Chains A and B, each alone.
Chain A
């Protein structure tokens, strides 16, 4: 005991070494390390590690293990669970582990970075044990591994600190604790080596040649990592299942609440940026703020989902900057640059580069000052003159205001908020949750499409045998109207399903064809009565029936517009479209059985050239093809691909 060994330095004779000796097992003749034997100088390092240093490392590892576990659980909770507030975790915008854990740097290859850290601490604890109870050689090697791991961990901690500062803009208290634990391990390792870094390094290099320990340590580290990853995945699956169940319950209540208030889900307009399916089965709408950390997280999660579902789902972005400068519906200015970022993103959208700019903004969402926004715009190659002009244009803010008002209507109070087929989701939902929702919605959408398709096929078949004329008696109106838009055969108007209606027809030709068939053109009042199931009234006595109160239905099939019900595509100049056969859009019919009154071809009515007008709108119209839609700007000679007729008698 206390006997000075060959090769030990001065420090090893001080009290530290004394303590180490006191805690170490009785001295035996140490088997010389291979490296020491062969190393330069031929001197052997046979000193025992300091017990104090080893205990410091042990304490640090136990603490680090606990922190790693907490960070991992917080990461799970944030991504897949309820993410309840954690006071220790989120102190401010700068001191927030949620911001850090929501960043790109929180995971490596899908694994939270806290898991390798956790495996490190398990390994350190094993090394601690070996340093205390192993053979002399094992003690030396294990303590030098502790030092080596401490050194490596401090380097990694320094790098992560730099990343937090420069890339994330936030510091995570738990991560700081881990940095502290790593530093303590390093100090412990250094202490154990007798405060001699040079000797510690030399001992480490020698110890690395201790193959059984090296391989055993590697196996233990890998095994710990694999087991913790498996446990993480298991817990993740449990969290996802629980979250889906909880959300399903919440959704029912929320849906009922919104419906009770008469609220509909987000209004998607042509000006909204979108990506994904051209002809979507379902649409996902996201309200986000570029400066919001959770929105950033969601953007990454959505990106993963878009890759899988982009063929059948459309993803729409709407701005909801959380700053009173531009958003009257919020109460704080926590996100100082959010308004400017929203405007800039709209301007990138104007140049067709929204999603590129969106990605850059979220990537750098801790740096969104005006000059940063300019820099990012330049970086993705925007036309800077147009970009600057657009930012100054008040119309840009009007677009954002539309989004914010829509959000207000839906009682959105924070971001991000995501809507999937009428379901409202809060926070940065993980890709797994989003994918589960989309799969379910798509399944339902596919089933619905199939049901609709079956119903349409049945309706088309029914149209083929439906009566070709329909008797109408509404108010003072009593007449018979053709059930289908007219075709012309041998100069005579005919009415039948499954036949293309005549196009390029002017009023004169329509009148002649009806008369040749022993019929006449409908009057405007008759036509509107058939469509609305109510007699139109000229309330203001100006001789027009299209500018008064609406007496009946707006559309032949009901009160409100239903996309796809009638043949309307809303593109005036689209030459790829043409009329469809009568009755093909079989659900475009009145309850009394009159088909295609709106859309397909607009129909001439009127008993003289002076009151000749076109009714219902042609297939170039969209929701404006209504029962009272009247075109009277041109004279009765007007004819084009959109003009046709039907007869009355």
Chain B
């Protein structure tokens, strides 16, 4: 993980210097509440580890569990490793997990990941300006969205608990089996 620290630091510096990471106004839009049935809009965010851009549309046709988290969020400390197990279980069936940190400081987000037992194998992105998060009417951390193969939101989950994960996994399985 350490090899990514330099890239993260660069990204943090870039943010601190006010360098644009895209066109904020173009990405802002009217952030209506994203609920089940809503069509996902595309977005591009840098990977937390190396700052390389990842475009959401690259997951087209896949079931995606999109999660927003932050280093200061208590339940996120349990959610991210739990999602790793979910990812291990279903990745071969086509599940992708994309976890977006909304920390303003990339180093803090990376430090949080480094502190997790077992690390995280799925995709971690950074939304330091909360531009993407701002589209989802998110009111608390963590908040996750399950997106189907058709690019529509299947489920919105606020908070995290083992019970909730059981329900989410059932929905994942159903989405993976859907054509």
Tell me if A's interface is mostly helix, strand, loop or mixed: loop
> In the complex the two chains form, is B25's CB within 8 Å of A509's CB?
yes
B155 to chain A, nearest CB (A): 16
* Given known A508-B24, A508-B25, A610-B16, contact A637–B127 (CB-CB < 8 A): yes
A500 vs B27: C-alpha distance in the bound complex, in angstroms?
A: 24
A605-646 vs B: 1/0 string, CB under 8 Å? 000111000000000100000000000111111111110000
A609 to chain B, nearest CB (A): 6
Partner of A608, one of B18, B136, B140: B18
> In the complex the two chains form, is B28's CB within 8 Å of A572's CB?
no
- Which chain B positions have C-beta within 8 A of A509? 25, 28
A634 vs B139: C-alpha distance in the bound complex, in angstroms?
A: 11
Partner of A642, one of B133, B139, B158: B139
- Which chain A positions have C-beta within 8 A of B135? 639
Partner of A506, one of B31, B33, B72, B158: B31
A508 to chain B, nearest CB (A): 4
- Tell whether B134 is near chain A: CB-to-CB under 8 Å: yes
- Tell whether B117 is near chain A: CB-to-CB under 8 Å: no
**What size tier do the contact residues of chain B reach?**
20 to 34
> In the complex the two chains form, is A504's CB within 8 Å of B133's CB?
no
> In the complex the two chains form, is A635's CB within 8 Å of B104's CB?
yes
- Tell whether A402 is near chain B: CB-to-CB under 8 Å: no
> In the complex the two chains form, is B134's CB within 8 Å of A640's CB?
yes
A529 vs B31: C-alpha distance in the bound complex, in angstroms?
A: 30
Partner of B158, one of A573, A609, A610, A632: A573
- Tell whether B44 is near chain A: CB-to-CB under 8 Å: no
* Given known A508-B25, A573-B140, A640-B139, contact A635–B127 (CB-CB < 8 A): yes
B83 to chain A, nearest CB (A): 21
A187 vs B127: C-alpha distance in the bound complex, in angstroms?
A: 97
Instruction: Determine which residue in B28, B131, B136 has the highest number of CB atoms from chain A within 10 A of its CB, and name it.
Output: B28
B1-42 vs A: 1/0 string, CB under 8 Å? 000000000000000101000001101101111000000000
> In the complex the two chains form, is B129's CB within 8 Å of A504's CB?
no
B149 to chain A, nearest CB (A): 28
- Tell whether A512 is near chain B: CB-to-CB under 8 Å: yes
A258 vs B62: C-alpha distance in the bound complex, in angstroms?
A: 68
B93-125 vs A: 1/0 string, CB under 8 Å? 000000000101000000000000000000000
B174 to chain A, nearest CB (A): 25
B146-162 vs A: 1/0 string, CB under 8 Å? 00000000000010000
- Which chain A positions have C-beta within 8 A of B30? 504
B31-63 vs A: 1/0 string, CB under 8 Å? 111000000000000000000000000000000
- Which chain A positions have C-beta within 8 A of B127? 635, 637
- Tell whether B132 is near chain A: CB-to-CB under 8 Å: yes
A349 vs B134: C-alpha distance in the bound complex, in angstroms?
A: 40
- Tell whether B137 is near chain A: CB-to-CB under 8 Å: yes
Q: Which residue of A lies closest to B30 (CB)?
A: A504
- Tell whether B130 is near chain A: CB-to-CB under 8 Å: yes
Partner of A572, one of B129, B130, B131, B140: B140
> In the complex the two chains form, is A637's CB within 8 Å of B18's CB?
no
* Given known A504-B31, A572-B139, A610-B16, contact A637–B129 (CB-CB < 8 A): yes
Partner of A633, one of B16, B28, B70: B70
Partner of A504, one of B16, B32, B131: B32
A610 vs B139: C-alpha distance in the bound complex, in angstroms?
A: 21
- Which chain B positions have C-beta within 8 A of A633? 70, 72, 104
- Which chain B positions have C-beta within 8 A of A632? 104
> In the complex the two chains form, is A635's CB within 8 Å of B129's CB?
yes
Instruction: Determine which residue in A506, A573, A636, A641 has the highest number of CB atoms from chain B within 10 A of its CB, and name it.
Output: A506
A495-510 vs B: 1/0 string, CB under 8 Å? 0000000001010110
A642 vs B130: C-alpha distance in the bound complex, in angstroms?
A: 15
A138 to chain B, nearest CB (A): 84
> In the complex the two chains form, is B18's CB within 8 Å of A504's CB?
no
B14 to chain A, nearest CB (A): 12
A549 vs B130: C-alpha distance in the bound complex, in angstroms?
A: 30
A641 vs B139: C-alpha distance in the bound complex, in angstroms?
A: 8
A139 vs B158: C-alpha distance in the bound complex, in angstroms?
A: 89
A79 vs B28: C-alpha distance in the bound complex, in angstroms?
A: 69
- Tell whether B165 is near chain A: CB-to-CB under 8 Å: no
> In the complex the two chains form, is B25's CB within 8 Å of A504's CB?
no
Instruction: Determine which residue in A620, A635, A637, A639 has the highest number of CB atoms from chain B within 10 A of its CB, and name it.
Output: A637
In A379-396, the 8 Å CB interface with B consists of none
A509 vs B129: C-alpha distance in the bound complex, in angstroms?
A: 13
A311 vs B22: C-alpha distance in the bound complex, in angstroms?
A: 57
> In the complex the two chains form, is B129's CB within 8 Å of A609's CB?
yes
- Tell whether B80 is near chain A: CB-to-CB under 8 Å: no
> In the complex the two chains form, is A634's CB within 8 Å of B25's CB?
no
A321 vs B72: C-alpha distance in the bound complex, in angstroms?
A: 41
A633 vs B103: C-alpha distance in the bound complex, in angstroms?
A: 7
In A196-215, the 8 Å CB interface with B consists of none
Partner of A636, one of B130, B140, B158: B130
- Which chain A positions have C-beta within 8 A of B70? 633
In A221-279, the 8 Å CB interface with B consists of none
> In the complex the two chains form, is B131's CB within 8 Å of A635's CB?
yes
- Tell whether B66 is near chain A: CB-to-CB under 8 Å: no
> In the complex the two chains form, is A639's CB within 8 Å of B28's CB?
yes
- Tell whether B128 is near chain A: CB-to-CB under 8 Å: yes
- Which chain A positions have C-beta within 8 A of B176? none
- Tell whether B138 is near chain A: CB-to-CB under 8 Å: yes
In A554-613, the 8 Å CB interface with B consists of 572-573, 608-610
Q: Which residue of A lies closest to B73 (CB)?
A: A633
A642 vs B135: C-alpha distance in the bound complex, in angstroms?
A: 13
> In the complex the two chains form, is B138's CB within 8 Å of A610's CB?
no
A512 to chain B, nearest CB (A): 6
A642 vs B158: C-alpha distance in the bound complex, in angstroms?
A: 16
A378 vs B172: C-alpha distance in the bound complex, in angstroms?
A: 41
* Given known A504-B31, A506-B31, A506-B131, contact A637–B24 (CB-CB < 8 A): yes
A506 vs B28: C-alpha distance in the bound complex, in angstroms?
A: 7
- Which chain A positions have C-beta within 8 A of B27? 637
- Which chain A positions have C-beta within 8 A of B139? 572-573, 620, 640-642
A442 vs B150: C-alpha distance in the bound complex, in angstroms?
A: 59
A636 vs B102: C-alpha distance in the bound complex, in angstroms?
A: 11
* Given known A504-B32, A508-B24, A633-B72, contact A638–B130 (CB-CB < 8 A): yes
Instruction: Determine which residue in A609, A638, A639 has the highest number of CB atoms from chain B within 10 A of its CB, and name it.
Output: A639
> In the complex the two chains form, is B102's CB within 8 Å of A635's CB?
yes
A642 vs B138: C-alpha distance in the bound complex, in angstroms?
A: 10
Can you list the 4 inter-chain pairs with the closest CB atoms, starting with the nearest? A637-B131, A635-B129, A635-B130, A639-B134
Write 29 A-B pairs (CB below 8 A) sorted by A numbering. A504-B30, A504-B134, A506-B24, A506-B130, A506-B134, A508-B24, A508-B28, A573-B139, A573-B140, A573-B158, A609-B18, A609-B129, A610-B18, A632-B104, A633-B72, A634-B102, A634-B104, A634-B130, A634-B133, A635-B127, A635-B129, A635-B130, A637-B24, A637-B127, A637-B130, A638-B102, A639-B31, A639-B137, A640-B134
B residues lining the A interface (CB < 8 Å)? 16, 18, 24-25, 27-28, 30-33, 70, 72, 102, 104, 127-140, 158
5 extra A-B contacts, CB within 8 A, seeds A634-B130, A637-B28 = A610-B18, A637-B130, A639-B135, A640-B31, A640-B134
